[in-house]
Structure 1
Amino acid sequence: MSEKNRDGKRTARERLAEEREKQKSADKRRRVLIVGASVVCVLGLAAVIGVVAANAGKDDGSKSAAGPLVVPSGAQGKDGLAIPVGKESAKSTLTVWEDFRCPACKAFETAYRPVIHGLTGSGALKVNYHLATIIDGNLRGTGSRNAANAAACAQDVGKFTAYHDVLYENQPVESDDAYAENSKLIELAGKVKGLDTPAFRTCVEKGTHSSWVDKSAAAFRKGGFNGTPTVLLNGKNIYQDRTMTPAKLKQLVEQADQG
């Protein structure tokens, strides 16, 4: 074999060896990348699980941290879950399940408020308000709950009706959890004469009635209601009555009062 042929074969062997070494290096890098990517995926999944668990914990914890159950002053009915407005002697009772973040509740209040105020003022109608937190559950947040607590704080000093109306008049859009901020609820209390006091602020900031709100919300869920508002006149659901109007409600209550 000539020297030239031997050099050619050696060069070929060297090139083959070099290629094998390159292939080994490439395989090693690929294995490192695969392992690294797997670690990142596992860590990412763990992070997602951690976030979900953290959020779930916050949601549950906000209820467990509510403190002892404190019923608002003057609350009536089963477990003291109804805030009454109007005279006990009224022959008709309107039961309203509502959520301060609920747009449909605001629409009902806007349409029926003048008639309801007139009928409660004349002694013909008593209204039992029950507070729910359905929007907090649907969109997440604590605005329904915090607003309900603040309304219960207003009830303690005889300002429920006025503050109730202010909350609906200033209701944020459904997706905006503005009522989760106690500062906003206290700011709105300034629109009700005599409500923004140190005692009211403490009640709002400490969530004095939050456990009571949770119990009311649980009663709503167990009640089998379809949504808020749920409005019952003497036990009959009038919100589902397509023929119902403020004028018709007034007529029905006045007829019952005269009869």
Structure 2
Amino acid sequence: MSTRNSQASKTAARERIRAERERQKKKDRMRRQLVVAVSVVGVLAVAGGIGFAVMKANEPTGWEAAKEAPQVAPAHTQGKDHTEILIGDPKATQTLEVFEDVRCPACAAFEQSSGPALLKDIKDGRYKVRYTMYSFIDGMQGGEGSKNALSALGAALNVSPEAFLKFKTALYSTKYHPDEREDLYAKDSELLKVAADVPELKNNKAFETAVKKGTYDRWTMDMTALFGRKGVKGTPTFMHGDKKLVMDQIPQRQMTQAQYNQLALANFKKMIDKEFGPAKGTGAGKGSGGGKGIREGEKDPTGGH
């Protein structure tokens, strides 16, 4: 082989080696770019996943979410946000306002002793009653039984005012009402068990569905937002117009439950007679408090809801 051919062969070999190195460098660059791209996508995906998880974690849940849901108001309600539960003879000229919390033991004691007398006054047309239901015990004791029971009461009210009153009476009864520290009414199954004692609600599929789905949860949150209305922050409380009615205290002495109930009933009747005058049957009770109370469509004189 001549020196020229030998030199040409070496030159060609070096070109091939150089070209191969260039190709290899291009492959390495592409591989690195691909790895970086995949890594970036992975990081973005993880970041997106973390962001989504954080976003989901910060989304309101349960009763907080109910505040943002569209309101479905029960039938037989009125006023702003449909939070007026006004029950009684439309011809009754007076309105007694009753403030209660379903988990409240004092409310249960009142309902068990004097509830029937209140219902009789409503039936006799002595006055209408506006119920304002609170849920502050959920905050004090923890839980959600007051709110859940109120939502179920909304479902009962949607059936009829009579169903509402009977269901509320059953919820406060000695048979069912739990210790306020026991959040029993947070369970839909417990509420439906109580409702089975109310003829209008027993085997009522629409009512059961509303309880299970929380149809009136948003309405419940609107109702409980009235906490402090007319300055009322404890239950049970009774008002006639902007006047808070006060019952005599029951003496602190040992007595049976029957004796307690008898005294409590006497005190309730005394308070009502003093404010509305002695009961005289249908249309009675205009008494000394004439003109007080709110009526359908009347603006709350205190400026409250």
TM-score w.r.t. length of structure 2: 0.61
SS in 2 for 1:109: helix
- Rounded Cα–Cα distance in structure 2 between residues aligned with 1:235 and 1:116: 20
Match of 1:36 in 2: none
Larger relative helix fraction: 1
Q: Which runs of 5+ in 1 are unaligned?
A: 1-55
Match of 1:172 in 2: 178
Closer, same or farther in 2 for the Cα pair 1:189/1:145, shift >3 Å?
A: same
- Rounded Cα–Cα distance in structure 2 between residues aligned with 1:57 and 1:168: 36
Match of 2:196 in 1: 190
Structure 1 residue 176 displacement after superposition = 0.3
What is the identity, as a one-letter code, of the residue corresponding to 1:127?
V
TM-score w.r.t. length of structure 1: 0.71
SS in 1 for 2:130: strand
Match of 2:154 in 1: 152
Match of 1:62 in 2: 62
Rg (Cα) greater in structure: 2
SS in 2 for 1:237: strand
Query: Among 159, 162, 165, which residue is 1:161 paired with?
Result: 165
Which structure 1 residue ranges, 4+ long, deviate > 3 Å from structure 2? Answer: 221-224, 239-244
Map 1:238-249; keep pairs closer than 5 Å. Answer: 238-239=245-246, 245-249=267-271
Structure 1 residue 207 displacement after superposition = 0.9
Match of 2:290 in 1: none
Match of 2:187 in 1: 181
Q: Which runs of 5+ in 2 are unaligned?
A: 1-56, 251-265, 279-283, 288-305
- Rounded Cα–Cα distance in structure 2 between residues aligned with 1:61 and 1:236: 39
SS in 2 for 1:137: helix
- Rounded Cα–Cα distance in structure 1 between residues aligned with 2:92 and 2:147: 30
Matched-pair contact (CA < 8 Å) for 1:90–1:125: yes
Query: Among 214, 217, 235, which residue is 1:228 paired with?
Result: 235
Deviations 1:61-89 (A, max 9, x none): 22233232122111123332121221122
What is the identity, as a one-letter code, of the residue corresponding to 1:253?
F
Matched-pair contact (CA < 8 Å) for 1:99–1:132: yes
- Rounded Cα–Cα distance in structure 2 between residues aligned with 1:193 and 1:199: 14
Structure 1 residue 174 displacement after superposition = 0.7
- Rounded Cα–Cα distance in structure 2 between residues aligned with 1:162 and 1:57: 40
Matched-pair contact (CA < 8 Å) for 2:167–2:195: yes
Map 1:201-212; keep pairs closer than 5 Å. Answer: 201-212=208-219
- Per mean C-alpha deviation after superposition, the further-off stretch among 238-247 and 196-205 is 238-247
Structure 1 residue 179 displacement after superposition = 0.1
What is the RMSD of the two structures over their aligned residues, measured on CA atoms?
2.4
Matched-pair contact (CA < 8 Å) for 2:94–2:286: no
Deviations 1:21-80 (A, max 9, x none): xxxxxxxxxxxxxxxxxxxxxxxxxxxxxxxxxxx979x522233232122111123332
Matched-pair contact (CA < 8 Å) for 1:98–1:230: yes
- Rounded Cα–Cα distance in structure 1 between residues aligned with 2:101 and 2:221: 12
Structure 1 residue 250 displacement after superposition = 4.1
SS in 1 for 2:156: helix
- Rounded Cα–Cα distance in structure 1 between residues aligned with 2:116 and 2:200: 23
Structure 1 residue 242 displacement after superposition = 5.0
What is the identity, as a one-letter code, of the residue corresponding to 2:91?
S
Matched-pair contact (CA < 8 Å) for 2:156–2:164: yes
SS in 2 for 1:165: helix
Match of 2:89 in 1: 87
- Rounded Cα–Cα distance in structure 1 between residues aligned with 2:116 and 2:90: 20
Match of 2:39 in 1: none
- Rounded Cα–Cα distance in structure 2 between residues aligned with 1:161 and 1:154: 9
Structure 1 residue 225 displacement after superposition = 2.1
Matched-pair contact (CA < 8 Å) for 1:87–1:120: yes
